[in-house]
Amino acid sequence: MRCAALLLISTASWSVPNQQSPSRPAPVPDQPPKAVVKEKASTDELRIQFDRDMEKQGIVIDRSRKLAAIRGRFNAPKQSLEYLITAPHGSHYESLISIDARPSNIAASLISLNIDEGSAPERKLKNPKPTEDELKNGATIYDVTSGFGGGVFIYIEWNDDRGFHRHRIEDLVFERPEGRTIPNAKFIFINSVMTEPQSKRDVPMYDANISGNFCTCGFNRGSVLTYPKPHPYAMEGDFDVYQPNWTLVPSEQLPVTLILSAEELLQPLIPAIAPPPTSAPASRPESRSEK
């Protein structure tokens, strides 16, 4: 059984650079992940080279199991969670896990695995507003429509002095108002958005690349993945809704492997895919048949 590792796709490297001024390089536009996949991974032959190029970076993708993985680390935040997973430029101090991969690269990887896109959860004010008595009895001022459609299940793996651990990411997130961890669910692939240039010097950019918001448990449409039914007050004036589940989450910034799978992992993967020590290079783990 072979481990998968995330296919890091340098979308910028496949873009046509703008003309550069003598004083400062012009920004390089992002390509939409769908365009990258259409150009570089639309046929079996292209996908072979596509995967080989990524493997040179110590990265593997498992198409047969329809899953991918990313190296990351626990952030050991000292405050409540506004995000679940942040990428470069993200607010790591208020997220559970951070990764070094660009969100557009991950989105392209999911598209190359034929992961369908879905619709983000929505929230709107109730009309009429709840009465004071209703609010005292637990009513909220919002109606929430759950997200739906294509997505992935998220698993986190790590090693520490107690051994090897694998958990769904939901098990690591405590929802304070409900007094429990968030229910297990498939995270919706909403694929962020491309920002439109606001001036002649601006270029199209993938919004999640700018914000670093890869996976959220709120109502932000700029992330790549989102929890299907956030708490009604998530990230809306109450930043204490979500907290790390400290009964499971290490207090140290340990390396992790983040697994994104189209199907629930009913059978455990081999422990060899757990993250290596920080000093060790990433490599392709052996499958059972190779041992």
Q: How far apart are CA 28 and CA 45, in angstroms?
A: 28
Q: What are phi and psi of 142, to 5 degrees?
A: -120, 150
For every one of its 291 residues, what pLDDT tens digit does the chain have, with 9 covering 90 and above?
Answer: 444 444 333 334 343 344 444 555 667 889 999 998 999 999 999 998 877 766 655 446 888 889 888 888 999 888 899 999 999 999 999 999 999 888 998 999 999 999 999 999 999 999 999 999 998 888 899 999 999 999 999 999 898 888 888 899 999 999 988 899 999 999 999 999 998 887 878 899 999 999 999 999 999 889 999 999 999 988 766 668 999 999 999 989 999 988 999 999 876 554 444 444 443 333 444 443 444
Q: Which of 118, 143, 125 is nearest to 223 (CA)?
A: 118
Q: How far apart are CA 50 and CA 60, in angstroms?
A: 11
pTM of the predicted protein model: 0.81
Q: Where are the domains of the chain?
A: 29-281
In tens, the pLDDT along 186-242 reads 999 999 999 888 787 889 999 999 999 999 999 988 999 999 999 998 876 666 899
Q: How far apart are CA 65 and CA 266, in angstroms?
A: 12
Q: How far apart are CA 238 and CA 223, in angstroms?
A: 20
Q: How far apart are CA 112 and CA 20, in angstroms?
A: 32
- The three-state secondary structure class of 289 is helix
Strand partners, 154: 260
